[in-house]
Structure formats: C-alpha cells, structure tokens
Structure 1
Amino acid sequence: MSRNHPAVFRDPDACTDYILSKVGKNIVLGLALGLGKPNHLANAIFNRARRDPSLRLKIITAITPEVPGWSSDLERRFLQPILERVFGGYPPLEYALAVRRNNVPENIQVCEFFFRPGAFMNHEHAQLNYISTNYTHAVRDLMDNGINVAAQLVSAERRPDGRESYSYSCNPEVALDLVPAMRRAEREGRPVAIAAQVNRNLPYMYGDSEVDPCEFDAVLDHPDYEFPLFAPPKESVSTQDYMIGLLVSSLVRDGGTLQIGIGSLGDAIAYGLIARHEHNERYQELLRRAGILDRFGQSVQRYGGTEPFREGLYGCTEMFVDGYVHLMRHGIVKRKVYDHPVIQRLVNEGRLKEEITAAVLDELLGAGAISAKLTEEDATLLGRFGILSPEWRWEEGELTNGTLRIPADLNDAKARRELEAHCLGERLQNGVAVHGGFFIGPRSFYQALRDMAPEERRLINMTAVTYMNHLYGDEELKALQRRHARFVNTGLMVTLGGAIVSDGLEDGRVISGVGGQYNFVSQAHALPGGRCIIMIRSTRGSGRHTTSNVVFNYGNITIPRHLRDIVVTEYGIADIRGKTDREVAEALVRIADSRFQDELVRQAKAARKLPADYQIPDAYRQNVPERLEAELEPFRKQGLFGPFPFGTDLTDQELILAKALRHLKDATNGNKGKLLQLKPLLASLAPPAEAKPYLERLGLEAPKDAKEKILQRLVTHALAATGAV
C-alpha cells in the first residue's frame, strides 16, 4: 500500500476503525512513554476492546501520567483547587484507571517497563505484567511482543510551502528506531498500523524529531482533541537534596558532558552549577564551611572543579528536563557538538573554532576529511557545517552561487584565494548543545520551549534513546562528543559492597524500573574519562521511623557491585570504582548518617569486610541533619537555597499551608489515634484572625459539624507550630 499521504481522521473512533481494519482483532499497542501518549486515541482503542470481548488488546508502555489524588478530606481541601488549576482539561487514560481500580477486562493486558515511581506498588495487574528491560532494548522487546500498532502524540507546524510537518517533539526516543523496525516486519508479512494524534500544545522540536507525515498510516487531527499537556508541578528542594546537588556540582568538569534527571535532585544539581558559575565566592565559601574540600577535595580536584564554567557543558541525557533550560539561560550548557568525527576532533583540540577562517580548509585537508580537488560530497560536508556559505554549491568541478564560478581546487592558488574571499561562511553551523530522548516537566518548561526562537530550539536535538544511552554505532564520534562525561542518576539504596538499589523492593515489588540507568553506568565505564555518579539520600522517613539508605546488604539490586563508581549522599562523596571491598565499605560508611554508622560497621566486621580494629575517623562522625541545616542557614538568610529555586505552581498561601499540613502529617504520622489524642489540646484553641485566609482556602472558616471543627483546630495548631500565625 502506498503511504504518500496518511489517512487523516477528525474522530478517534473512526481512526480506531481504520486501525482495526489494518491489523485485525489481536492488537498489541505500543504507546509512547510519559508525555507523548495520544490519550483520546488510546482511550478509543481501550474502550473498543472493553466493549468487544472478541478483541484481544495488549498495551505496552511506560511512565503513565496520572493526575494525583488524595487520601483524606483535609488533603482534598488542599489539593483539589491546585489539581484543577494545574491539570484541568487533561483527559485521564482509561487503561490506567482500570489498572488502579483493579477492573482490567480479561481480554486486555497492560504492561509497563517503567512505572511512575511508587505508583503501582500495590496493584496486582501492574506488578504481574511489569517488563524489566534496559531502555535501549525497548524496541527489541516491543518487536518480540508482536507489536502491530504504535501510537503517540505529535506536534505540527506549517511549512513555508503550506504543507504540514510533524515532530515527535517530546518522544522520539523509541519511535525513531521502532517505526523502521515495524516497517521491516510489515514487508515480512506482519500487518501494522502506525498512528499519531496531533496536539499543537506540544513544543515543535527540530532535528531528528521532525518526521514526514507519510511515516504514519493514520493521523487524528482535530482541535477538539488538543488537550493541555500533563505538567507535574515542581517538587520542593530540601536541605538533603541541596547538599547532594552541591557535591555533584563539584564533580562536573568544565568542557565536559552532563546527564541529569527529573525531580528535586535534578533541580539541586542545576542550582549548584549555577551557584558555582555565578556566585563563585559564596559557592566556594560553602564548600569550605561544610568541610567538603577538606574531606573530599581529592575527588573534586581529580574529577571536577570549583571554578566558573568558561568552555561550558554539553548535555547528553535520556530525559531532557527543565534544568537544562536554566543551565542554557545561565551560559553553562553551551558546548556544542557536531555529528562528524573529524569536525568534532578538531573542535576538541581547539584547531577549529566557531568563527570560520581559511585555516579550517587546511585542517580538514590534513585530517583527510576533504580532498584537494573538492568533490560534491566534500562541498556538501562543508555546506552542512557552514564552512561554505549556503548559496554556494558544487557543479561539475566548480563552486557556484549562480553568478560566479570558481574551480573547486584547493591546489589552484588563484581559485583558493577566490574561494576564501567569496565562499566561506561566517560561523560553524548545526552544532547541538543538548541531545535528549524524551521530556516531561512543569508548565513553565513547555512554555520556555515554545518561547525559544527556532535557532535556539535547534540547539536541542531530541533523538533516539540508542544515541544517548549507549556507544554502539558511531563509537568514535560519541566518545569525542562525550568527553569528561558525568552521568548522574538516582538510587534508593546502596550496599556496603557498592551495589545500587534503584527499581524495586526486597520482596520483588517494582517501584519504578531499570530504565536507562544501567545503560549510563556501563557507558561511563566504557568512555575514557567517564564517570557515573549515583545520588543516594542517606536516610528516608522521619523521627523514630527514620531508616538508613546505606545498608550492609539487600535482596534486590539494580546495578551490581562490579559496576560501582561514585556514590554521593548529602554527607559526601564515595569514589569506589576499582577499590577493594574494605575501601568501598570505609568510603560508604563515611557518607552514611551517623545514627546508623556503628551498626553498619558492626555488620561489615562480622562479614570480614572491615578489620576488627576499624574505627570511623572523627571527621565523619558528625553526619546529622542538624549540621547541614546550620551550614546552609547563613546562605538562606542571603536569599539562597529556597524551597523552589526555579519557581512553583503553588501560591504563597499554598506554600505556607503545605508546610503546616506536612508538619501535621509528621506529628501524627498518619495515625488517627494520635489525631484523637490532640483533640483535648485543641478544644480551646480558637483560630486567630491571621489564620482566617488559610482556613477560607480550605473551606474551614465556618465549621458545619464536629469533624470540620476538629480539622479547623488542627490546621490552626499546625499554622501556629510552623510560625505562620
């Protein structure tokens, strides 16, 4: 069948009819990860199978977006207006609702290979049907599962010639490899349908994300189905997170490569890098005050630095997060890479600058990238990188702009002079500052991308996950681009042997997934000068429920100990690559919370991993949260290290309420019995006038019954305890 034009539909049910006509009643549907899900089309296919038991539907996807819920009446009062403001108009995914309600029909199976962290820990269908895979193997596993329908959200832009062009935008990472694989299967006899749903709210991304409409068999395109993008609000950045981000920022080398992820830890790294670049004196003062340079200065000096960024960084990341936009705005992510090994090597060596001079021709000639008598291929190469001005082209052994003609011979002195005078461009072109696989983030992130001028957006090349996440194919080019690579990932726990727990619990339940973490760890070990930094919050929980995330051993691991590299907690840096088990255990005990160090040492000694006479050095015995708070406090008084360094969707009033409600939750630990114990203390606590706006926001200014009266008093108590009233 010719695919000169896709079939365009204005209704998701009609589009579903067309898809079923192509593939039949056994549907294996691959949906893009995260933001790129075509909600209306996915819902139409799911509901068709729900109504028709003769259909078999298997959905394979990852990171299903869901609007958060609440677990109590008080949470509802606080969250509901925020959720309506932030997520209003986002259509829920019916398959996710069915999984959450435990009513997935027997003829439907929903498989994910990466959960939104913690979203489905106690849902049987999700746990039974989880697929554990490295992200670079997603296409292979989709094909092995018999995928015959692929569907995702795309953006659209009108070209100057009036034609519509599409962009994979937020999710080219699987599609760029999956679509060719499905077309090969189609030629071998597998019926397939590749579908898109257009949503012009998606930022239109250029480069590898741009896709010819003819790639698709079916396109759903109607304004009624263009919905607000899923935009999770910013998480607050804690002291724990800030200290981890600060430490990581000192391990990043100027002129290097950076990969970071989403969430408060990603924000903390970006903030630390900006502080290093723009507030360097205060940055270095904090490193000294916190003892980081005294205790971990050797690692900082060897792998990173503390000076501002002169050359800047290049971003190579599976997940493109808004932190990169901030780093670009602050002139930190600015190192451009080029998709030609000779060009990239000359740039790395400083022999090719952004400003084009005649010397570049000799450099390329000497490197064997071009011949003295320029061929059409040579001219195309020179034009692609702006070394030749765009109006010049090769034609029968000459360069011409339609008026002048110059022999394309660098050995001809006269022709060389004319070429240098007329044909050279001004600056290197088609450099990329960030390669990314997919993106998702707050509303401000999407708006920032939409507001970028096209030439700035072209510095961000959203491309296949196989490009960022491993070195196979173009190894020479990737190694040249990814110099001094720092791949920064998050783990849940680290064992004293150096193994990392990131995806699941000891009992086998999956919290999230492996995703691309293993890919970046193995890549860091393969790249000259590459390092993988795993961030671990040293503890979780609060009060007497606090537990250590540095553990002696654990029954589930994500990254085996033979791939150990660098681990960072809020208390320091453990450089454990190539070290003995004793050295690894010592380094990790030193960055554990001091409340748990003695027990860790006891376990290590019992297992003969530390000598019987080992003692923790005094310099590492003050690893407690109170010390970190004291170290940051002077800088917070200067307006630094706030809870939302890059903004928030919450109002000032909601931030105050969130703090009070969090205090209340911590005080009771969700225990209704403790709430009842507070009732006598609250009986005479009349709300002061300053509490009225907050109580109005929660609908508790005029209690209608005893329950609301108790809630009013509890909130008033929490506001007073946190200094709001």
Structure 2
Amino acid sequence: MPTQCTTKPLILDHIEQCVDEIIQRLGKEIRVGLPLGLGKPPELINALYLRAKADPSINLTILTALSLEKPVAGSAVEAAFLTPFVERVWADCPDLLYAVDATNSQLPANVKVQEFFFKPGSRMNNLAAQQNYVSTNYTTAARDIFNMGCNLTMQAVCKPGDGPATHYSLSCNPDTSIELVRMLQASGRTHLVVGVVNQRLPFMGHSAVVPANVFDVVVDHSRYYTTLFSTPKLPVDLADYALGFYTSALVKDGGTLQVGIGALGDAVVHALALRQTDNSNYCNVLNALNRPNASQVFAEQIGGHTPFDGGLYGATEMFVDGFLHLMQTGVLKRKVYGHWALQKLINLGRCNPQQLEPTVLDDLAEIGVREISPDDFSVLKQHGLFKEGVLHEGVWLVLPNGQRVLANFADKSTRIALQASGLGRSLKQGIVLHAGFFLGPGSMYSTLSNMPETERDSIHMLGVEHVNQLDLNPVLYSEQRTHARFINTGIMVTLGGAVVSDGLDDGRVISGVGGQYNFVSMAHKLPTGRSILMIRAVRENGQGDAPSSNIVFSYGHCTIPRHLRDIVVTEYGVADLRGKSDSQVAKALIHIADARFQADLLAQAKKAGKIESDYEIPAEFLNNTPGALNSSLGQFVGSGVLAPFPLGSDFTPVEWALAKALKRVKARAASTPKWKLAMKALLAANPPASAQPFLERMNLLQPDSIETKVVRALLLEELKAQGEINEALG
C-alpha cells in the first residue's frame, strides 16, 4: 500500500499504482525520458507501455537511447544453445516490452519511440526506428529531450540501506538525469520525476547521490529488485589485439584514459594491464608487430612501453569493466582533485599528495590563488589541505587554536599561521575515475557492490555535461586531463581523414554519435590531448561476399570531419594525421590499409591529384595481410598471452567451444547442397564419449529429425577440427 509523506516523494510499493499516479497527474499526453542502458526501470516502463497499448487514448512517447535486449534465437538449434545461457546470465531480468515490439515493428499507433543511440546494427532495416531517430551529441541529449516536451522521467535507483530513505543513488546513470531534472524544475512545466528502487544496483556516491525530495514518486518493493541487464563479453581476435597493442603504446604514463565497450576496448585494456604486470611479454608482442621505426619513435614521443609509475586517471562517458581491471592491476591509480591550483601543483611536481609540505601554501599563492572564497575553502578542506578544525568565517580563517587570519594566501602571515597549525598532512578524497554511466557484465556490478567504500569512492559518477567537455570548468578539467588519450572506434575512414562511426551513406543509422564527437573535439582543445580512433582495416562480409576495405577514398557520410583528424589505428599500424597535408594523410592511411586494397586506394588518390603520380608504397607496408598478422601474433595465443576472453567470460568452456563450432556449422549448412547434408546425416558415425558434454548441452544426444541429425554430424566434425574431440568419429 502507498505511504503518503508530508513532503515529496510519494512512496508506493506497486508499479501499477505508480502508473495510475502518472496518468492522474499528467493526463494522457505522456513524453517520458528514460536513461540510457542500465538505468531504465523495466517494470515501470513496461507497465506504462502496456497501459498505453490497452488504451489508445493515451499518447506515449518514449525518449531514450540504447534500449537493451536479450539475444533471441533464430532457429531451434540456436535456441538449444541460447536458452540455457540466457536463463543463467539474465535470470529474472525483465525484457523491455516496448523495445521487443519495436524490434518486431509491432508498436501501436499511439506509442512512439525516439532514440538517439541504437545498439549497433540493431535498427538498420527498421523503418519506424530510422524515421524517429534523433541525431544529437550525448552532451546535448538532456537539452534535446527536454525540448522534445519531456514531462516524465523515471530511473532505477538504489538506497543506502533498508527502510525509508532520505537520499538515493542514481548509481549507473547520473549521465543526463541530473541535468534533465534541473531543466524541468526550472521550466515550470508540469512534470513528474519517478524512481524505482533496485537494491542490486551498486550504491555510488558523490554526484550520483540525490535527496529523496528530488523525486515526486518512488516505487520500493523487493519484487522489483530484479537481475540487472548485463552485457556478456565478446571474444578478442588477433586483429583486435593488434589494434589494442598499437593503441596501448600511445598511452602516456601519468596521463588520462577514455576507452569504450567491446572487443577492441578489451584488447586495449589487456595490453595496458600486460604492460604493467608482464612487461616482457608486452614488449614481445609489440616487437612481433614489426612496427616501422617512425611509428616506434612516435609512440615513444606521446606514449611509451614501460610499466606505469604515476599511473592513469580515467575520464570517460562510459565506465566499462575494463577500468576495474586496470584498477586491480595498478594501472588506474592517478588521483585527481577538485581545485585547479592544487591539481596544477601536483602536475608540476610541486605538491606530493601523500606528504604535504609547508611550501605548498607559498606555491598556491605564487600561481595565483589569493582570496579564499567559501567554495575554494570547501573544496580545499574536502581534499585535506586544511585540518578539520579550520573554519571559514567571512573574510577570516579560524584556526584550531582559535587564531583568526585573513582568508587570503597572498597574506604572508596567513600562510605562516596555516603552516604552523592549520595545514593537513596529506591530500584525501582523490578520484581515479570520472564517468557518466556504467554498463557491463554481471561480475562488474557485483565487484562494485562488494568493493570497500573508500575504494568505491575513488570512482565519481556524474553528468556527461562534466565528463564529455571542458566548458563547465575548463581550467580545472584541463589540469586533470593531462596527456588525455580519448580512444574510440570507427567503421570507416576516408583518405581525407574523415571518420564514419554511426551511419551509412544511404542515410541509415547504425548506432549514433554518442559522445565520440565531443571527445575528439576535446582532444584538440587540450594542450597534450590526442584522439585515437581504432578501425578494422578490412571488413569480412560473410555469406560468400568478398571482403572490403574500411579505408576508402571517400564516403557520403561522416561522423568526425576531416578537420578534426588526429590518430587512426588499424591492425596494421598507426597513422598520425594531425596537422598533416592531404597528401601525407592519404599516404599514412594507405600504409595501414589491408594490402589487398592498397593499389586501388593509391590509384584513386593519384587520379584525384592528392598523391603525386610517381609515388610508390614503401615495401615495409606491403605485407599487411591477415596471414602475416596470424604469423606474427599466433604464437602468443597458444602461450595464453593473448586469450580469447582476457577480462573473463560468461561462457562455460563447453559453451565457448560450441559457439565457435556452431558458427562454422551454420556457414557450412548454408553453402552445402541439401542432398549432401542429408547423406552426411544418414552416414554419420557414432559420437565418441568425449563428445557427450557438447551434445548434451545442445540436446543432441538423441536427434529426432533429419535437421538435428545434420547439425549433430556437422557439429562433431567441427569440434574434432577444433581439437575438442580426440577420438575418431565412430
């Protein structure tokens, strides 16, 4: 039953009551802003969506990004593999019903879904999704959702303990919510802010914590403490690893890191961790890549290959589990602080956070800190520059011994008095990671929840208005983000240096720009910042189609314009494009293209007059082939240095073996005449004992149809080829 408080919020214990409250207060024109990804409260949005499906007089618009869906089997064979996996990994995590209907083009006429980011490739042929897509930088998403008439926000939250709460944590998604609520409150627009408690969310502090009265309604009952949506790891192949290792050598000790989700992000993280924990093997992999001398020199200039002494600090919109891995391996350990002058002194080596020297006050005065405002005092005291007993009163500082001095570092007597009895011993509450949202495997959520509070407090979740740009505090953020390496992925790059990351030249949207543009732009604004865009050189199209180059002469769509070109990395090397001429850029990109496409790219560039007619590609770049890559890095797979899942996996060993084999089974079945498949099934030998775990997992111990017998026969052959089955078949 609802518990009515004298002040906000109204506490309810059932979702349906909340839907009633929403319709009663807002009427039937509802435009709901949902957080990206994990922060959506599935039970509430499902109940509201079902109410709209049942009542055509309700006009519901859902404004969001990245609506996560569980994998769905396309055949009985896929179902046999997927169903147990889905049940184990996602358990009682609810489906987002509007997303399921959107995928199947079954949304009712009175419901519209407008998204600014899709799961990559998931909406390519969905006409409604393509037509309702909103292109916006992540930094301006809250503004745009507000301007689209949002009058309802809802978010999954958690509380610090059992019982009534005076405050809640936005946990995984303070990225746009805080800004959007601020706009709604300032506008005078009739609106509702709703929270749904899920105590499986890790309680994140700092900016993610909001007072209870931010919410108009909170739904809190243990039935809604359901399994969090997770993103199982993808395997990392040799091309991914090559990209990751090339990129890792561009990261400078004492610098700043942004990296994203997926196999390429995992490859970078693994390489950085190996650089720290097993530097010998790290260097062996780099050497095996046969980097040209100029590339090695460039990497040493802006990055390095040695272990991390000062460590890295993370400033990223997306907090992926790789950052936890880097914390655990001692890479992510550089702490930053919330006052520009303090951070500047640390960067200059004039302030040791572990041991404050009296001269730090003189140095603060020297670099321009004079009058100490209440805000300055609060931040400096929070970080331990002042002892606990020091107070700020008007124009005075009151020391623990009762002495009153001017709140001004320019006053020598103030500095002397503080040095004697008011200076702290060391800095505290430093931050190793600022991030806008998190999403990852289930192990990430449990690690965060079980992490000691002091360690978890070194992670600060906050809005993308802070993380994705410099505008709100350019002096502080520039000092914190020294030697920033903003690492993102792209789909294609043109010989002019423009990068395609979110769509095709026919107008179809693959994913969305997200924060990529903001980070690339920020890299150009920071004195020591660099943007690194990782792109697979070649695309294997499958289904018998020939592979194609992801380095192209030109393309009819771009995400990052050519004037923001910086560093591009493929599995064949690094191209430094910043400040280079068009001819130099085109040559550098051809040098890291797949060898099968280099001649054609060079011919196009020459025809367009972008490269001189007598130019020839140097011999050192002509061996850019998958075979050469396998020869270089294959040795490290067997030794375990380059494992398929360097950061862990939700697959069991049997499932991973099956996943690899089933992919090839599907390809063989599609390319083999049906009569041959039938003969194979009829003549198939009896399976050996070692095949039993695999067949049992796929429900193929006793196949009962020609189709399942074909699958079993092909599967056994592939498992034997993989070395999973040692005995002869039959």
TM-score tier by shorter-chain length is: over 0.9
Cα gap change, 1:177 to 1:713, in 2 (>3 Å): same
- SS state of the match for residue 512, structure 2? coil
Aligned-residue identity in percent = 44
Quick one: distance in 1 between partners of 2:211 and 2:186?
A: 18
Question: Equivalent residue for 1:593?
Answer: 594
Shift, 1:285, TM fit: 2.7
Match of 1:100 in 2: 103
SS of the residue 2:434 aligns to: strand
The Cα shift of 1:411 comes to 10
- Post-superposition Cα deviations, 1:167-209, rounded to whole Å, max 9, x if no partner, equal 11110010121111000112xxx21111111111111111111
Residue of structure 2 in register with 1:21 after alignment: 24
Aligned to 2:383: 385
Deviation, 1:626, is 1.6
8 Å CA contact 2:166–2:211 kept in 1: the answer is: no
**Partner in structure 2 of residue 316 of structure 1:** 315
d(CA) in 2 for partners of 1:272, 1:342: 33
Within 5 Å, give how 1:67-466 maps onto structure 2.
Answer: 67-158=70-161, 163-186=165-188, 190-292=189-291, 294=293, 296-354=295-353, 355-371=355-371, 379-394=377-392, 397=396, 399=398, 404-408=401-405, 420=419, 422-466=421-465
CA separation in 1, counterparts of 2:413 and 2:306? 48
Matched residue SS, 1:126: helix
Which secondary structure state, in structure 2, belongs to the residue aligned with residue 66 of structure 1?
coil
Q: What pairs with 1:571-720 in structure 2 (closer than 5 Å)?
A: 571-668=572-669, 671=670, 673-674=672-673, 676-681=675-680, 683-686=682-685, 687-720=687-720
Cα distance between partner residues in 2 of 1:202 and 1:208: 16
Give a deviation string over 1:520-570, Cα, whole Å, max 9, x none.
Answer: 111111111211111001112257532211112222211111211110000
Q: Equivalents in 2 of 1:436, 1:464: separation in Å?
A: 8
| 1:430-579 to 2 correspondences below 5 Å | 430-541=429-540, 545-579=546-580
Cα deviation for residue 165 of structure 1 reads: 2.2
SS of residue matched to 1:211:
strand
CA deviation profile, 1:488-512 (whole Å, cap 9, x unmatched): 1100111111111111122211110
Distance 1:544 1:146, change over 3 A: closer
Q: Could you tell me which amino acid in structure 2 is paired with residue 598 of structure 1?
A: A
Structure 1 residues 544 and 360, CA gap change in structure 2 (3 angstroms) = same
Partners of 1:63 and 1:115 within 8 A in 2: yes
Q: Which deviates more from structure 2 when the two are superposed, residues 72-81 or residues 658-667?
A: 658-667
Distance 1:167 1:137 in 2: 23
Answer with 161-170 or 269-278: which moved more: 161-170
Map Cα deviations across residues 289-312 of structure 1 (whole Å, 9 max, x no partner): 321253511321222111111111
Secondary structure of 1:86 counterpart: helix
- 1:31 corresponds in structure 2 to 34
3-state SS of 2:16 partner:
helix
Query: How many angstroms apart in 2 are the aligned matches of 1:675 and 1:444?
Result: 43
Inter-partner Cα distance in structure 2 for 1:286 and 1:106 = 56
Query: Contact 1:288–1:294 at 8 Å: present in 2 too?
Result: no
CA positional deviation for 1:418: 7.2
Write out aligned runs for 1:49-60 (5 A): 49-60=52-63
Q: Which amino acid aligns with 1:165?
A: H
CA distance in 2, matches of 1:296, 1:676: 54
Q: Is the Cα contact below 8 Å between 1:370 and 1:378 reproduced in 2?
A: no
* CA distance 1:666–1:604, shift in 2 (3 Å): farther
* One-letter amino acid of the counterpart of residue 167, structure 1: S
Residue 245 of structure 1 contacts residue 272 of structure 1 at CA under 8 Å; is this kept in 2? yes
CA shift, 1:599, in A, is 1.7
Q: Relative to structure 1, is the Cα distance of residues 674 and 18 closer, same or farther in structure 2, using a 3 angstrom cutoff?
A: same
Give the direction of change, closer, same or farther, for the CA distance of 1:58–1:413 in structure 2 (3 Å limit). closer
Moved more, 422-431 or 555-564: 422-431
**How much does 1:356 deviate?**
2.1
Distance 1:400 1:625, change over 3 A: same
The CA distance in 2 between the partners of 1:118 and 1:248, in whole Å, is 25
**AA aligned opposite 1:366:** E
Structure 1 distance, partners of 2:42, 2:227, is 11
Please report how far the alpha carbon of residue 216 of structure 1 lies from its aligned counterpart in structure 2 after TM superposition. 0.8
Give the TM-score taking structure 2 as reference length: 0.94
Whole-Å Cα distance in 1 between the matches of residues 450 and 225 of structure 2?
19
**Post-superposition shift, 1:254?**
1.0
Q: Give, in whole Å, the separation in 2 of the partners of 1:273 and 1:545.
A: 34
Rounded Cα–Cα distance in structure 1 between residues aligned with 2:413 and 2:501: 64
Alignment: residue pair count: 715
- The amino acid across from 1:174 in the alignment is T
Deviations along 1:318-359, whole A, 9 cap, x unmatched? 101111111111111111111211111111111111122322
Look up the equivalent residue of 2:231 and give its one-letter code: P
Answer yes or no: is the 8 Å Cα contact 1:398–1:405 preserved in 2.
no
Contact between 2:41 and 2:196, CA under 8 Å: does it hold in 1? yes
Letter in 2 for 1:546: P
- Secondary structure at 1:195 match in 2: strand
Change (3 A) 1:78 1:430: same
